[in-house]
Structure 1
């Protein structure tokens, strides 16, 4: 399948007016995603919500699409509004003991760094370690490792398969935040085998804020109780004429973690994006994104930048003597969008970008340096 990337680009109206290289902050939502969201609201008006149970059947179709993207089964997938919800689930579901510890990497996104707010009352130690000291920071009292596949500021890409194998041998749970990777980089849960993968789909999955999913491994589902309870917690919730009263009987699937109603319009937009990503081919998308990142990195280095990590699609560089916040603001004034994060100028192209975007970035930066 040959992909016309310029035709793909036409799905994103903002790109006609902006040089947008900031998907690590927000992904652009394609026309088909907006249309799928709007179609849901049109149907609500047409049927006056009389068919509301069918909305959940459609959501199950989106669940199947997500499962196909990450090589899971539909039973493994639950919808979430953001990755914080998944973090709250696993933090609440572990039977913590005083002296247990949680390990994360230095410089992680606050979702992981703020974990002590959820577990410190149990006497749990929080360890923030460098990658060089990562394995040494894990001991017999480590219960959970919480990391992002790709670091949001530096672009460091963690070797998840290696980490997962190490942790499995020691009975330690692995929570992966895939918000900064899934949609750009391929993710195969059968190969990596995380215990929980959380993805807020508003970045690389080109979906609206508030749409997302988590993968919960069967072994973890068997022992992890829901952190919220709602009318859909009981396994027979579709029998709305006679909803169950009393202690709910839980389903075996990850759906038991969803609790109540779903954000259907947002899910339809995400579903359209997921179907498109599957149609384009995750391998081709990854190749495209990594090639654009490589080209961006080379152009920035040619201007005098230093770059530490080359494993991911997030290009984080430093220019000696230059303030990245000032550079990003000056570029924004020229309708070139990048970001400044913790001392780095961060450039994050997606498959909808092209070589002309990178040329424009280089040209405008040259004027500012």
Structure 2
């Protein structure tokens, strides 16, 4: 791996923290796509390769899943008992939909990621989805709103929701809150206790293999949900729940577990453990500094709330093509070019992207 020297910045502690994190990644020069998929950590790569040489051992994998759940609980500041494991955010959001009464109103943000919205659109039972601009979510929550569901960071634009205002408005009206932290956890502080449901797929900013997701649930919401996906792993004793249908379910959020993808969790454990042990505020300061520098160099307007994702209009894809031609991995969404700055990026990545886009 090529050692990277970070430019001086006012957040010395944040820079030192991220300098340490750099050592956990194989050189990622020009990879500005953590918002699409994170890069594997050295620990994840080693764990997956070692697992290929190991005979399958269900007891070993059970321990891996338990430790990964515990690491995610530390990451989002909650207890393991509140967390159910899954493989996709959309299926876990669909479980939340089972708690809603018939005819309930669900409030979502315009243009939010479909996995947040579609489980409610197709939930049936007369459930109604209403969408409004992201910054209007708090104001639009009313006495008929059963649930407000939103991504903490918008996939298409990188905009950061005003979670505090949304939660406060929901509390005034007795509205449940569901936050998708898939585009947030890993680069900004996230606290599950703020929400009735916090969903996160770990393959983006948490740099885990695809196929590992989590939902942290409040007791009041979990009590209304139905474990419609219950299988053997949702049992109070999974190994005693392998046959038949009379096995008691776990009393905590594990009753909403699905059988884990073992190899994916093997790779996820080192990555999530790594991010659970870092100063999230320091990582936020570092990644948003890089993004802000890129914005300023490109003359882009500042974001309302600091974000590690930068997007701009690129309807014909020309800017994305320029980035690709320069060897930079970026992405395009909803007619916009999109770059993301994570802990494995640095000021040289900013410079490379700016040069690629400068005529």
TM-score (norm 1): 0.86
SS at match of 1:198: strand
Which of 174, 178, 182 is matched with 2:181 structurally? 178
SS at match of 1:229: coil
Q: Is the 8 A contact 2:30 2:349 kept in 1?
A: yes
Shift of the alpha carbon at 1:117? 3.7
RMSD over aligned CA atoms reads: 2.2
**Number of corresponding residues:** 346
Which of 148, 155, 159 is matched with 2:162 structurally? 159
Q: Is the 8 A contact 2:72 2:272 kept in 1?
A: yes
Quick check: 1:74 aligned with 2:80? yes
SS at match of 2:294: helix
Partner of 2:102: 97
Shift of the alpha carbon at 1:5? 4.5
Quick check: 1:113 aligned with 2:117? yes
Deviations 1:234-287 (A, max 9, x none): 2122347xx56443322222111113x311221121110112123332222222
Which of 298, 306, 310 is matched with 1:315 structurally? 310
Q: Report the CA distance shift for 1:323/1:231 in structure 2 as closer, same or farther (over 3 A).
A: closer
Partner of 1:358: 350
Q: Is the 8 A contact 2:121 2:129 kept in 1?
A: no
Partner of 1:279: 277
TM-score (norm 2): 0.89
Q: Is the 8 A contact 1:104 1:128 kept in 2?
A: yes
Once superposed, which parts of structure 1, at least 4 consecutive aligned residues long, lie more than 6 Å away? none
Q: Is the 8 A contact 2:291 2:309 kept in 1?
A: yes
Name whichever of 56-65 and 1-10 sits farther off.
Answer: 1-10
SS at match of 2:46: helix
Deviations 1:210-252 (A, max 9, x none): 1221111222222322121212232122347xx5644332222
Quick check: 1:41 aligned with 2:46? no
Shift of the alpha carbon at 1:114? 2.0
Q: Report the CA distance shift for 1:280/1:125 in structure 2 as closer, same or farther (over 3 A).
A: closer
Q: Report the CA distance shift for 1:125/1:21 in structure 2 as closer, same or farther (over 3 A).
A: same
SS at match of 1:166: helix
1-structure distance, mates of 2:100, 2:286: 43
2-structure distance, mates of 1:280, 1:324: 39
Quick check: 1:254 aligned with 2:258? no
